[in-house]
Amino acid sequence: MSFFLNQKGISLIEVTVALLIFGVMIIPLLCMYRDGSIYAAVAGEKVAALNLARGLIEEIKGMPDARLGLVRGATRNTVMLEQRAGGGNNFYHNYNLAICRGTGSGQIKKITGYDGVTHQAVLDGDWQILPDTSSFYLLYSYHPTDYHYTINVVEGSATSLTKTLQVTVYYTEKNQERQISLTTERLVR
């Protein structure tokens, strides 16, 4: 019995000091965890935007010449492609059509129907600015994404056989719109 009488317990003051020390140590750790989560989310947005731009650039570099050309005519929700566009009916179904230079530049529409004889593509919506014969287009695979992006021809020499194409992807970082742009050279007839 005398064994139990000689033991001392932890006092309330010691417990309070231990909790205070623990609290002082844990608050900076929680702040670092929170900040790390924010920076990881921002980096994730930037990486996703960069991957989209990189994928579009790679597709443009390997694109067959028949998927590039000048608009022959357009109505509010259709566009007439060059004769060399080729393909049978609905060949370009679910492709995107980007106006990259000229009237209506920066617009991207999804193709919902295609007539292989007349080379007329039906689009998923109306044009904001109707393209004309000065409008340069390219056709590429549909990329479902939450990001807004544009594909443009960077103006250069009118006689040059190569054109510089630029893909710009817009994303949000800390409530501010940011952008990532990649460019590539492409032989254009």
Q: Convert the pLDDT of each residue in 4-23 to its tens digit.
A: 555 566 788 888 888 889 88
148-154/68-70 β-pairing:
unpaired
Angle at CA of residue 61, ends 55 and 62, nearest 5°:
95
Question: Residue 56, class by beta-carbon neighbours within 10 Å (0-12 exposed, 13-18 middle, 19+ buried)?
Answer: buried
Cα torsion 10, 16, 21, 22: sign: positive
136-141/95-101 β-pairing:
antiparallel
User: What's the pLDDT tens digit per position in 90-149?
Assistant: 999 999 999 999 999 999 999 999 999 999 999 999 999 999 999 999 999 877 788 999
The Cα 97–Cα 69 span in angstroms is: 11
Q: Are 178 and 171 in contact (CB under 8 A)?
A: yes
Q: Model-level pTM?
A: 0.73
- Comparing CA positions, the residue from 184, 128, 123 lying closest to residue 153 is 184
